[in-house]
């Protein structure tokens, strides 16, 4: 089964991929649109579009622009190192070790991305390497729909540990040679040295965390604004988050329409898939969710040819960004 856009429906996944979803939801209203959605995936896409359309605040979050081209794994991996390569840029993320020398693992999935988004957003907003955690982190994760209490406590704690211990190397290649940047996400641990066993959310975080200097400097030099409510709409779909960030980075910079054939799109987002066909079967919903969360995006999706990108407004108008 390959990606099919033959259905004339403007609701849900196909509607988003055909560029008709937002106008349809606006015309029918959210209740009628949800009632017409044929599958759970269609309803998720309709809900994402409605959440964006109802947002009037245009609050910005920030992510390092490098993550538009490279990203963390979506699932847990057995390897101690994760490598992502794209044109002119390579990212290596190495697992750190705990005090007993046991590998903690490479951070992965939507929870790791949510924690990183909070740290980067606060660093850009405050222009400080020191980021407040505690209640502020809890409020933000809760607003993003991340359950950091109860059953979610262990997952958030595990990803925090992995983020605290991992090491990063960025390789940026140009005509002048290759620039190598070594570092980490943070210089001090996100977690306190001791945790109680009572499941108390506030015990999960230190009061503050210090970002790695090289990572912070690069972030301040290359911040990519994204729409906070869009991240909330995609919070549990790590691949949709990555596609959204990629579109936010690419579209507003385009000078002319640019085609991304399926093999190239597979090379960008297909890590973990051994075959292009399997990737194309899987990517339909994440791509539709990303487009639902970015109403300004002008993207044509074709069964045969892949994606055609057109110059589009950024998710956050420049005049709305806090300087």
pLDDT recorded at residue 203:
60
Residue 211 pLDDT grade (very low, low, confident, very high; cuts 50, 70, 90): very high
pLDDT beyond 90 at 153: no
The structural domain count of the chain equals 2
Q: Which residues pair with 61 in a beta bridge?
A: 226
pLDDT digits (tens, 9 = 90+) for 25-65: 999 999 999 999 999 999 999 999 999 999 988 899 999 98
Beta-sheet strands, E only, within 87-195: 89-94, 130-132, 167-174, 177-183
Q: Are residues 185 and 101 in the same domain?
A: yes
Q: Are residues 123 and 89 in the same domain?
A: yes
Q: Are residues 36 and 184 in the same domain?
A: no
The proportion of the chain whose per-residue pLDDT surpasses 70, expressed as a percent, equals: 91
| 3 occurs within a structural domain | no
Q: Are residues 135 and 263 in the same domain?
A: no
Q: Are residues 71 and 215 in the same domain?
A: yes
Contacts of residue 233, defined as CB under 8 A and 6 or more positions apart, other chains included, come to: 47, 48, 51, 52, 289, 292, 293
* pTM of this structure: 0.89
| 281 occurs within a structural domain | yes
Q: Are residues 167 and 186 in the same domain?
A: yes
Q: Are residues 290 and 195 in the same domain?
A: no
Q: Are residues 39 and 95 in the same domain?
A: no
| 2 occurs within a structural domain | no
pLDDT beyond 90 at 263: yes
| 260 occurs within a structural domain | yes
Q: Are residues 152 and 190 in the same domain?
A: yes
pLDDT recorded at residue 79:
94
pLDDT recorded at residue 189:
84
* Residue 91 domain boundaries: 61-224
Q: Are residues 130 and 198 in the same domain?
A: yes
| 304 occurs within a structural domain | yes
pLDDT digits (tens, 9 = 90+) for 100-114: 999 999 999 999 999
pLDDT digits (tens, 9 = 90+) for 56-98: 888 999 999 888 877 899 999 999 999 988 777 888 999 999 8
pLDDT digits (tens, 9 = 90+) for 221-257: 999 999 999 999 998 899 999 999 999 999 999 999 9
Q: Are residues 50 and 72 in the same domain?
A: no
Q: Are residues 160 and 305 in the same domain?
A: no
CA distance 81 to 29: 47
Domain boundary among 224, 246, 262: 224
């Amino acid at each position: 089964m390959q990606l099919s856009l033959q259905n004339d429906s403007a609701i849900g996944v196909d509607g988003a991929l055909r560029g008709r979803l937002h106008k349809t939801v606006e015309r029918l209203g959210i209740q009628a649109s949800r009632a017409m959605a044929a599958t759970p995936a269609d309803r998720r896409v309709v809900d994402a579009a409605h959440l964006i359309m109802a947002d009037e605040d245009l609050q910005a979050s920030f992510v390092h622009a490098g993550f538009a081209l490279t990203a963390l794994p979506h699932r847990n991996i057995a390897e101690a190192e994760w490598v992502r390569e794209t044109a002119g840029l390579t990212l290596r993320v190495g697992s750190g070790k705990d005090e007993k020398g046991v590998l903690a693992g490479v951070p992965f999935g939507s929870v790791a991305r949510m924690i990183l988004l909070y740290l980067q957003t606060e660093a850009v907003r405050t222009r400080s390497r020191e980021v407040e955690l505690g209640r502020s982190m809890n409020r933000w994760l809760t607003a993003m729909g991340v359950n950091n209490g109860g059953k979610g406590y262990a997952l958030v704690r595990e990803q925090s540990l992995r983020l605290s211990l991992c090491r990063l190397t960025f390789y940026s290649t140009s005509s002048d040679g290759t620039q190598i940047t070594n570092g980490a996400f943070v210089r001090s641990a996100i977690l306190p040295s001791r945790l109680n066993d009572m499941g108390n959310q506030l015990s999960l975080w230190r009061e503050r965390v210090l970002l790695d200097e090289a990572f912070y400097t690069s972030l301040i030099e290359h911040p990519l604004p994204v729409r906070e409510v869009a991240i909330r709409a995609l919070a549990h779909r790590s691949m949709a988050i990555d596609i959204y960030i990629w579109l936010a980075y690419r579209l507003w910079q385009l000078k002319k329409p640019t085609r991304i054939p399926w093999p190239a799109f597979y090379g960008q987002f297909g890590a973990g898939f051994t075959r292009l066909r399997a990737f194309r079967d899987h990517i339909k919903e994440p791509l539709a969710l990303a487009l639902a969360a970015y109403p300004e995006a002008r993207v044509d999706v074709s069964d045969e040819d892949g994606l055609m990108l057109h110059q589009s407004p950024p998710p956050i108008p420049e005049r709305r960004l806090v300087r």
